[in-house]
Amino acid sequence: MADASSLILLAKCSLLRTYGHRVTLLAPRSVLREAAAPELREAYPDSEEIARCTEEGLIHGEAVSSRRELPLALGAGEADAIRLFLARRADVLLSDDGRALRTCRLLGIAFTTTPRVIVDLRACGAIEPARARRALEKVAVAGRYSRDIIAAALAALQEVPHGETDDDPSS
Amino acid sequence: MARPTTIRLPDELLAELDRRARSHQKDRAVFLRELLRDALARDLEEEVVVAYRAGRLSLSEAAHRLELDPWSWFDLLRRRNETLSVELEDWIDSRSAL
């Protein structure tokens, strides 16, 4: 289950498609509107990639019927992602918003973040080390991740054994 | 609707206002309205960024308060050299999803 922050960051570092091929990626329709509304696609080309991945079935958009109260106030998309996570009993919530992650902690929800996804993709051989490093750099610069977290992610990347990859730069 | 109002300004501030308005070839009232709008927008932006930084607003709430989409919020963070509100503890506690 993903919210808009992570769909945007994965699109910015060109790994949304790669990730979508390896997991079942769900997102509330409100999140898809936040990240890839038609009016955004011209201004933000990466937004087009989110829309394409949705059209191709790599991201499954779902309506959210639950209005369950959450312990912290969140934006509409972030709250819907957590509500849908609970309704669908999803495995992990993917978010790059500190307040959404704090809500996950309060509700006992397992969560992950874009830098962790990048390390995971490298660990399972989906991407080459250089591509993983480039993605982390992009997440730092365009994604505004703190240098502490990027340094920790780079350290984790170095611990990944160098093995074969099925990396296709076009994917 | 524009309504007349009265404020007291020190002489030197009024003189500076008129000098700047002349240099922009604008009427004093027009120039002052523009300055006020810009200042109010900057003030709101500052308030929202501080609340986001402190974790009192989520990313999409912060963007919504400024009538921005989330993409523009990332641009704003970059322009202001701000970072995401994700903490090192979030990275440490994040779980592998593959």
ipTM above 0.90, yes or no: yes
Q: Closest-CA residue in chain B for A147?
A: B83
Per-residue tokens: B32: 């002052």
Considering the domain boundaries, does residue B51 fall inside one? Answer: yes
Q: What are phi and psi of B51, to 5 degrees?
A: -65, -40
Q: Find the largest Cα–Cα distance for chain B.
A: 68
Task: Give B57-68 pLDDT, tens digit per residue.
Answer: 999 999 999 999
Domains in chain A: ranges and CATH: 4-112 (3.40.50), 115-158 (no CATH)
Side-chain-side CA neighbours of A96 within 13 Å: the count stands at 24
Q: How many CB pairs under 8 A join A and B?
A: 135
Per-residue tokens: B20: 């700047």
Burial of B97: CB neighbours in 10 Å, binned 0-12, 13-18, 19+: buried
Residue whose C-alpha is closest to residue A114's, from A18, A2, A10, A36: A10
Task: Give A48-58 pLDDT, tens digit per residue.
Answer: 999 999 999 99
Residues 40-79 of B with CB under 8 A from A: 55-61, 63-64, 69-71, 74, 77-78
Contact B60 A75 (CB under 8 A): yes
Contact B70 A5 (CB under 8 A): yes
pTM over 0.80: yes
- For residue A55, the tally of other CB atoms under 10 A from its CB is 10
**Candidates B64, B83, B90; nearest CB to A113:** B90
Query: Mapping DSSP to helix (H, G, I), strand (E, B) and coil, where does residue A111 land?
Result: strand
Q: Which residues of B touch A43 (CB under 8 A)?
A: 71
Q: Closest-CA residue in chain B for A47?
A: B71
Gap between the Cα atoms of B12 and B15, Å rounded = 5
Q: Which residues of A touch B95 (CB under 8 A)?
A: 92, 110-112, 116
- Answer yes or no: is pLDDT of A168 > 70: no
**pLDDT band at residue A161 using 50, 70 and 90 as cut-offs:** confident
Contact B60 A97 (CB under 8 A): yes
Give the CA-trace dihedral at A126, A128, A129, A131, to 10 degrees.
-100
Cβ of B83 under 8 Å from any chain A Cβ?
A: yes
Task: Give A14-67 pLDDT, tens digit per residue.
Answer: 999 999 999 999 999 999 999 999 999 989 999 999 999 999 999 999 999 999
Count how many domains chain B has.
1
Cβ of B17 under 8 Å from any chain A Cβ?
A: no
Domain range holding B45?
13-93
Query: Mapping DSSP to helix (H, G, I), strand (E, B) and coil, where does residue A65 land?
Result: coil
Gap between the Cα atoms of B13 and B19, Å rounded = 10
- Answer yes or no: is pLDDT of A169 > 70: no
Question: Token pair 């700047």 is at which residue?
Answer: B20
Task: Give B8-46 pLDDT, tens digit per residue.
Answer: 999 999 999 999 999 999 999 999 999 999 999 999 999
Considering the domain boundaries, does residue B61 fall inside one? Answer: yes
Q: By the 8 A CB rule, do A144 and B76 touch?
A: no
Radius of gyration of chain A, Cα coordinates, nearest whole angstrom: 16
Considering the domain boundaries, does residue B6 fall inside one? Answer: no
- Report residue A68 CA to chain centroid gap: 23
Residue whose C-alpha is closest to residue A5's, from A82, A97, A83: A97
Q: By the 8 A CB rule, do A95 and A114 touch?
A: no
Gap between the Cα atoms of A116 and A9, Å rounded = 12
Q: Closest-CA residue in chain B for A1?
A: B97
Q: By the 8 A CB rule, do A90 and A26 touch?
A: yes
Sign of the CA dihedral running B88, B90, B95, B98: negative
A107 φψ region: left (φ > 0), alpha (ψ -120 to 50), beta (else): alpha
Q: Which residues of B touch A111 (CB under 8 A)?
A: 90, 93-95
Considering the domain boundaries, does residue B2 fall inside one? Answer: no
Considering the domain boundaries, does residue B47 fall inside one? Answer: yes
Query: To the nearest whole number, what is the mean pLDDT of chain A?
Result: 94
